[in-house]
Structure formats: structure tokens, C-alpha cells
Amino acid sequence: MTIDNPYDDFTNQIGLLYRLNYKLKLVLFGLFPDTPVILTVWENLVTKYQVMGKQAHDRRLVAAMISHEMTHLLTFNTVDFKRFSEITAVDPRTIVPPP
């Protein structure tokens, strides 16, 4: 004999909502694979721009963008990405909606 957990339905619904939210994001924004090429591009960026410390994480994002031929990054932190000629960092606060 098993005792039903009264939270099972709720937990299942939360899990379903999470999965639907994840799938919706994939449809709207896409998800690019993490490929071995990114490591090579990242190593080149680290050498080219003499990156050390925490900045290496931003460089990995730039490496992934280059690998997937993305040119623009929407970020509130444009300062950390200004040194890269390979991408354009755009602050969302500077985007003007069409008339």
C-alpha cells in the first residue's frame, strides 16, 4: 500500500511549467550548442587581448558569439566588451522603440 503525497500534483505542475518555459525560450531565442571550436576561439581571444582573471568569463561569451557568427550582444555591461572589435555590445537602455 502506498501513501499519496498531497504535493505530487503541485510538484508535477511546477515541473511542467518549468519545462514549458524552457521550451518557449528555445523557440523564441534559440539555443546554440557548446562546441569544441569555442575553446580554440577563446584561447585566441585570451592571447590577443591578454585577458586574466574574471574577465576570462566574458571572453568565453565573446568566443561563443564569434563561433556562432553573432555580431551583437545586448547587455547592461557594455564597458567590459568595448575592447572587442569582433562584436558590438549594445545597452538596452539606448534602444529607441520605433515611432
Delimit the domains of the chain by residue range.
Answer: 36-94
Task: List the one residue out of 84, 93, 54, 80 whose CA is nearest residue 66.
Answer: 84
- At 8 the pLDDT is 63
Average pLDDT, the chain: 84
6-22 mean pLDDT: 70
Residue 87: CA count within 13 A, CB half-sphere = 28
Q: pTM here?
A: 0.67
CA 68 to each of CA 37, 59, 71: distance values in angstroms, whole numbers, following the listed order: 10, 14, 9
Task: List the one residue out of 81, 74, 40 whose CA is nearest residue 59.
Answer: 81
Q: Is the pLDDT of residue 17 over 90?
A: no
